[in-house]
Copies of this chain bind each other. A is one copy, B any other.
Amino acid sequence: MKVGIAQINAVVGDFPGNAKRLLQAYRECLEKGAELVVSPEMGLVGYPPRDLVFKSQFVPKCLQALDYLASEIREVPFLVGYVDHHESDQPGKPFRNGAAWLENGEVRARRWKTLLPTYDVFDERRYFEPSERCEPIEWNGRKFGVTICEDIWTDDYLDRPFYRRDPVRELKAAGADLILNLSASPFHLGKPEQREEMLASVAREAGLPLVYCNAIGAQDQLVFDGHSLVVGGDGEVLARLGGFEESCEVWNLRQDAAATACGRMPQPPCEQLWRALVLGLRDYVTKTGFETVCLGLSGGIDSALTAAVAAEALGPDKVHGLTMPSPYSSGGSVSDSFALAETLGIRCDEVRISEIFEEVKSTMAPLFVGEDEDVTEENMQARIRGLLLMSLSNKFNHLLLTTGNKSELAVGYCTIYGDMCGGLAVISDLPKTRVYDVCRWLNREREIIPWNTIDKPPSAELRPDQKDQDSLPEYDVLDGILEAYVEKHLSTDEIVGLGYEEDLVRWVQRRVDLNEWKRQQAAPGIRVTSKAFGMGRRMPIVQRFTG
């Protein structure tokens, strides 16, 4: 049997657009000979719709779109992810995360998601009621075990089993001879490899072949990376679809020559990160209806990488850089910015902030009599830059990109309403050491990021001769502590046990905790690690826990 995989990019809430895209992909699979086509979790809806599902016409309009889609389907079945009502006479949540089997102009069967992830970035128990039982769908003498995303994530990949039920086991017991999975599984570094291992292990344990269709495209903070798969009942990967791009492929499950049609393995880490950022930026900008972006260029590595991602995602003519030297800026601040603009082919303008800075200081002088200059004046400079960038954004309808990295954001080494201004934080989930890695990888063939930008000591340039390492530990040390504290939730003692100095560990922990208020006002960032700041990390601002 030939199964088509429609790895498409949906937009949340765009039922007409998503239906059209699904139909195109379905027809593309038909042309390639598909006898059954599978598409991603909530492909008709976009994932995750979050509280939009509560809008009174959201599910009704989804069901209308599903009926329309069904009316366009003939004898080759199409399996489509959507959202449905939960029967109103039953207790529980109001909705179902569903898969509809479309065939001969109608919805022939519906199945509900059983395991509802409610952790990290996921909130499915907020909305959905799980299935009561898992039953295969019979068609053409076969029994298809339809599952949705989490339904096939097995316990081996978790610290403890989250769930009491196992949909694959239930389906196998009910006679399923093939597992189909509709997914919207977001990317983080290493996830494509982890997913492939996990799917192979599920298929092998069940002894059933598995067809896995993942979404691609970005939605707010999440990037869906595709990498759809076909795995044999022995756990062998039979086919791979590409990552970070739409793709429609058809696979003959009876065919033996596995290797021939098998796509390449997931890319090395820096390439994964780069492609995730490019897709994340492109989808955020274009799906919100912007055409161009602007950003501040400091001559430093963060703004350089952000500009490079933007130029790749949108084209260099859509990117407008602004360099804004102050009295404390090095010469390199301007010259490295123009050098970068040159290699990327983006526009760069220069404006000075000194006059505004002096005017702000003299305006506040009557209130600051007798006070020394301090961080106030550093923040003023960052905020003047934010003000100028926002005026550029307002005047020309550019989306302003903010350029901070994860290490800075973690310890609050950034100015709220200053360099934190912007609609999208492109690299806010990249630790500083990763920023260097990606830039060096990017320069592997030719100089895209000026080597001078990569090699000079990082500096905020907000006071004379300032360097990041006047205020912060070396970045490899800082990032090590941050990974232990932010991503792994380790305690002071446990982090010290990894070989870090106790006072420093406490200082970093305190800075992370104290700066929660800033992060809760930060622009959404593109998630590329397993624990990003943002929707997947929900810390109180007011709290006194230490440890």
Contacts and interface: CB of A to CB of B under 8 A. Distances in A.
B391 A160 contact: no
A11 B367 contact: no
A141 interface: no
Contacts of A21: none
Given A351-B367, A387-B417, A521-B521, 18 more contacts: A15-B545, A17-B544, A49-B545, A52-B540, A52-B543, A54-B489, A91-B160, A118-B123, A123-B123, A218-B542, A219-B540, A288-B542, A351-B363, A355-B359, A355-B363, A356-B360, A368-B395, A520-B524
Interface string A391-434: 11011000000000000000000001100010100000000000
A391 B288 contact: no
A123 to B, nearest CB: 7
Contacts of A364: 351, 388, 391-392, 395
22 contacts: A12-B542, A13-B545, A17-B544, A52-B540, A52-B543, A54-B489, A55-B491, A56-B494, A57-B491, A58-B545, A61-B547, A92-B160, A118-B123, A351-B364, A352-B363, A353-B363, A355-B362, A374-B394, A376-B391, A383-B417, A386-B417, A535-B538
A31 to B, nearest CB: 28
A540 B119 contact: no
A356 B363 contact: yes
Interface string A496-526: 0000000000000000000001001111100
A221 to B, nearest CB: 9
A140 interface: no
A543 B11 contact: yes
Contact of A421 (B219, B360, B362, B417): B417
Question: Interface range on chain A: under 10, 10 to 19, 20 to 34, or 35 or more?
Answer: 35 or more
Contact of A541 (B17, B288, B352, B522): B288
A366 B351 contact: yes
A249 interface: no
A359 B490 CA distance: 49
Interface stretch (A161-169, A231-239, A328-336): A161-169
Contact of A56 (B92, B383, B491, B523): B491
Given A363-B355, A542-B12, A543-B46, A517 B92 contact: no
B539 A50 contact: yes
B12 A540 contact: yes
A164 B355 contact: no
